[in-house]
Amino acid sequence: MIKRYCGELEIGLHYHGRTPDDRANYFGYVKLPDGRKWRFADLASGVGTPGNRPEDFDSMARSAVSFAAYWTSHNRGDETPDWAPAADLADAMSDAAEIGEDDYTVTRKLAAKSLTPAV
């Protein structure tokens, strides 16, 4: 399992082959600091992406966070998919994610500030 980080979130990704339309396919999780997780399967890349390069995992970690944090309590309706995290979990993930200038900020190492225990 390859790990990436976004704000206070840990993203675990496992590349598990190609889809029938030649997209890289992953399963994994997005985890909050309190241990709650949203697990996903069949998270697919764009067509033709190799899938196992470090930058591919960076991109897919951003996609995983986007899905995990999208279906918040303010963004639900009749079209909320079955695979979406529960509203309270999506709310917490949205709050814990770090958003950069254009997209979620994903790193390959846990930020030093996250290693400091709370007082």
Could you tell me which of 69, 54, 72 has the C-alpha nearest to residue 104?
A: 69
Indicate the pTM of the whole model: 0.86
pLDDT at residue 40 is higher than 60: yes
Separation CA 107–CA 5 (nearest Å): 5
Q: What is the pLDDT of residue 10?
A: 97
pLDDT score recorded for residue 119: 46
pLDDT at 69: 93
In this prediction, residue 75 carries a pLDDT of 87
User: Do the bridges between strand 23-31 and strand 9-18 make them parallel or antiparallel, or are there none, so unpaired?
Assistant: antiparallel
**Domain limits, the chain:** 2-106
Q: What's the rounded Cα separation, in Å, for the pair 55 and 9?
A: 18
Q: How far apart are CA 112 and CA 89, in angstroms?
A: 25
